[in-house]
């Protein structure tokens, strides 16, 4: 599970997040893992584009709490199968 990946605002737009994502996928692939999974919130549109561009596909969504359900706030779940890339 990929957790808490972020790049500071002043460093964004330089390809660092793509490079980090590729590194994680390569690390997992080299060690024989079948997939990498992650979650991001519905408001993190740039993160969604990044992950989808790296081969992740959205596999589900959930609400983090009752308040999240009432507010229609969702967490999107992604998976990248490593054997296919």
Strand order in the sheet with 35-41: 35-41, 75-81, 57-62
Q: How far apart are CA 59 and CA 51, in angstroms?
A: 12
Q: Which domains does the chain have, with CATH numbers?
A: 9-81 (3.40.630.30)
Chain-centre distance for alpha carbon 43? 13
Q: How far apart are CA 69 and CA 58, in angstroms?
A: 19
| Percentage of the chain exceeding pLDDT 90 | 69
Residue-level length of the chain:
85
Does 85 have pLDDT greater than 50?
no
Lookup result for tokens 């959205």: 58
Does 39 have pLDDT greater than 70?
yes
Report the chain's mean pLDDT, rounded to a whole number: 89
* pLDDT tens-digit series, residues 42-82: 999 999 999 999 999 999 999 888 877 788 899 999 999 99
């Amino acid at each position: 599970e990929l957790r808490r990946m972020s790049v500071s605002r002043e460093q964004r737009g330089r390809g660092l997040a793509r490079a980090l994502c590729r590194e994680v996928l390569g690390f997992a692939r080299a060690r024989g893992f079948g997939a990498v999974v992650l979650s991001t919130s519905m408001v993190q549109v740039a993160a969604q584009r990044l992950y989808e561009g790296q081969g992740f596909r959205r596999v589900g969504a959930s609400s983090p709490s009752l308040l999240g359900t009432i507010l229609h706030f969702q967490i999107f779940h992604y998976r990248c199968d490593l054997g296919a890339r």
